[in-house]
Structure 1
Amino acid sequence: MTERQRGGRAAKAEARREAILDAAMTVIAERGYRATTLGAVAERVGLTQPGVLHYFPSKEHLLIGVLEARDRWDVAAVLAGAANADLSHLEQVVEYNAERPGVVQTFTALAAESAIGAHPAREFFTERYAGAREVFADLLRREFGDRLPGGLEPEQAAPLLVAVMDGLQIQWLLAPDDVDMPAAFRDFVALLAAGDRTGDDAARH
């Protein structure tokens, strides 16, 4: 097989893989995490279930692929490279997630499952959270400097910011009519900003 032929086959395989991920994202949006099956995804993309398993060896691997694709497409994916990023970028991410309950369900369920034993998603979430803490620490440093209003360093506060975002997602999934996730996150950001102004006022007096 020539190099050109190998390249063509690789490109087709990648295109098929992306089509499967697109189909899975659509099925998740329509049916939710629990009701998404390999058979439903296969039917949507015009393959057999073994055809899907050729690219993703299990439902868990397929869902991990969806989350990886979500990170590539998401506003959050470019956050680390945005030199002027601030907390308003995270507000946009939260607002965007509020429009995708199925994907948020998938993320939350797999994150919880990955913390127990040898789960296929464990490596993905371990690396993702480490990356999120690093990105959020950089963002907080650009926003507040080397110390937040309460005295924490950005590296200390970053895990708390991750916890707020994920905790709001769980509460919103359980009670969407009672918890306005974007509004609650904006309230949290306002608390940080208010604390910053309070610190400035105290310093002036």
Structure 2
Amino acid sequence: MPRSTQRPSSSARGERTRAAIMRAATSVFARHGYQGGPLAAVATAADMTQPGVLHHFASKEHLLMAVLEERDRDGTRRLEAGTWNDGGGAALDALQELVDHNTTTPELVQMFTVLVGESVAADHPARPFFTDRYAHLRYRTTRAIQRGQDRGEFRTDADAAELASLVLAVMDGLQIQWLLCPEIDMSTRFATFVDMMKRFLAPDPPAGSGA
């Protein structure tokens, strides 16, 4: 009986420690990137020793991937909880909600932006992660636009895949400008872009409708 009550407590402590290490790594990677952020700095930020960090994460690379995957899971959860799966204009609105949320987490946005920039190097450990992530996001965004086309909400002569790449480019580009100049209102600018997209994708009124 004592053993069964002790295990959950030990597991909970381990999860709290892992979460603290990941928060520390997020801060270090946001400021210095993966290449410039030593594991020693993560350990110091987490008020631990390096062996203590390595007890929970086998290597600095394992820690990097855990941080990236958790950040990505959070973004996916937010999209799935909204109107993303509805496609069409509702999916664009879900992306707007994500951009609005991102304005409240500048450190996470900075970390992701810094690591994306680093990962263009062929030997960066996060390159496969970001390559797969962007391919997945392009596919999901393409399908969201296509669902709007399938039900007549969007015009059908627009290239959904091209527009999906454009949506992601605007999101990332606004994040960079916002990080460099916080006075830029990222939410308002993305809302303007979403409105432009909806106007561009609006189907032509039927002939003779008088619209």
TM bracket (short chain): 0.7 to 0.9
Cα 1:134–1:11 change in 2 (3 A) is farther
Query: Are 1:189 and 2:194 an aligned pair?
Result: yes
Deviations 1:157-180 (A, max 9, x none): 211111111111111111121x21
What TM-score, normalized to structure 2? 0.74
Alpha-carbon shift at residue 18 of structure 1 (Å): 3.6
**Superposed CA RMSD:** 3.3
Residue among 105, 109, 119 paired with 1:104: 109
Structure 2 counterpart of 1:67, one-letter code: L
Deviations 1:63-96 (A, max 9, x none): 442221111122x346368532521110111111
In structure 2, runs of 5+ residues without a counterpart are none
CA distance in 2, matches of 1:124, 1:171: 24
Alpha-carbon shift at residue 113 of structure 1 (Å): 1.1
Q: Counterpart in 1 of 2:143?
A: 138
Bigger mean CA deviation after superposition, 43-52 or 33-42: 33-42
Q: Counterpart in 1 of 2:158?
A: 152
Q: Counterpart in 1 of 2:63?
A: 62
CA distance in 1, matches of 2:206, 2:179: 40
Residue among 10, 22, 32 paired with 1:34: 32
Cα 1:170–1:194 change in 2 (3 A) is same
Alpha-carbon shift at residue 144 of structure 1 (Å): 3.6
Q: Counterpart in 1 of 2:18?
A: 17
Cα 1:141–1:150 change in 2 (3 A) is closer
What TM-score, normalized to structure 1? 0.76
CA distance in 2, matches of 1:188, 1:150: 20
